Amino acid sequence: MTVMLVLGYVELVGFTDDYFHSESETPVVQALTRLTPYYEITWTLYYQDPDGFAQALGTSPAHMAIVDNNCFHSMAQHFDALYNWAREKPLIIAEFNVDTAPSHPLWGLAGAGWRGDVREDTLVYLPETGIFHWPEEVPDTLRLFKLYEDRGDSLRAFSGTPIALFEGGVAAVMSPDCRVTVLGFLPAEAGTDLDLDGVLDGVEFYEDLIWYAMDCNGLLVQESPAEGVELRQVGLELLVKTLEPRELFLYSAAGRLVLRRKIFGAERVSLKGLAKGVYIARLGPKTTKALVR
């Protein structure tokens, strides 16, 4: 039997295209890969396949969709499919082509509308919204360099919240219920590392936005990892690390205590012998849902 302790589980479906990066090097994939140490995230990505992505939206069991559309004009043919998805499930869409259908109701789901084109090398400013501080600290300013012929669109914020700004315009809008976020700029063009932390600013932007959207939409069943606390599975063992004395508890779904241990420093806790099922793990103040399968 394979025993796996899952700190959480979110399934995503996405689309991205990029003239300048392979699939694994795109900002979206880099961001998702960097998020996996914090959470179990799986995704199905349609790379340069807008038709396949749109078809999958109708049957996908995913919890959230992400669109990172840098250059495929044909994505505009699928705005209706995205609208139908976003009426029920969370969506993040970076779309250079808003002006193809400026009155489409998809933008209204975010409380946004089209304002004008983005033409020159420009800056994107991040106002204080509480979004861009975890898991990464994103610079307050993103510098965009022209990679694509169409740079995107400046937006208007009606009922939505502006979460990124151009000089004199809005670069991204999130709906009041945080279910739908529309980006009028392309994070793929934020290829600098202004805070010199070794991670491109566009990747950090996506990383924090995806995490926030999952959290705000109730897709995360655990709190963010506490400082100095590590809780993850390695083989048939649970690796636990804490910088101060804590107690580890593991309960069955019925509330029966099946494990209790004092932890200080780094320890390995065996998962052998546990029956399949859902458990609740608690380490000090941290509570997380666990699945043994």
What letter does residue 36 receive in the DSSP assignment?
A: T
Residue 25 has pLDDT above 60, yes or no: yes
Contact 46, 14 (CB under 8 A): yes
pLDDT at site 246: 86
Q: Which residues pair with 156 in a beta bridge?
A: 113
Q: Where are the domains of the chain?
A: 9-216, 229-292
pLDDT digits over 112-166, tens only?
A: 998 877 766 589 999 999 999 888 899 999 988 776 665 567 899 999 999 999 8
What whole-number distance in Å separates Cα of residue 193 and Cα of residue 168? 24
pLDDT at site 4: 35
Domain 229-292 CATH class label: mainly beta
Residue 234 has pLDDT above 90, yes or no: no
Instruction: Look at the pTM and tell me if it is higher than 0.75.
Output: no
What whole-number distance in Å separates Cα of residue 284 and Cα of residue 263? 9
Contact 279, 258 (CB under 8 A): yes
Helix H, strand E, coil C: the string for 32-44 is HHHHCCCCEEEEE
Residue at token pair 């290829």: 191
Give CATH for domain 9-216. Answer: 3.40.50.880
Phi, then psi, of 286 in degrees rounded to 5: -90, 135
pLDDT digits over 175-203, tens only?
A: 999 999 999 888 888 888 888 989 999 99
Give the residue from 81, 52, 6, 23 showing the smallest Cα distance to 232: 6
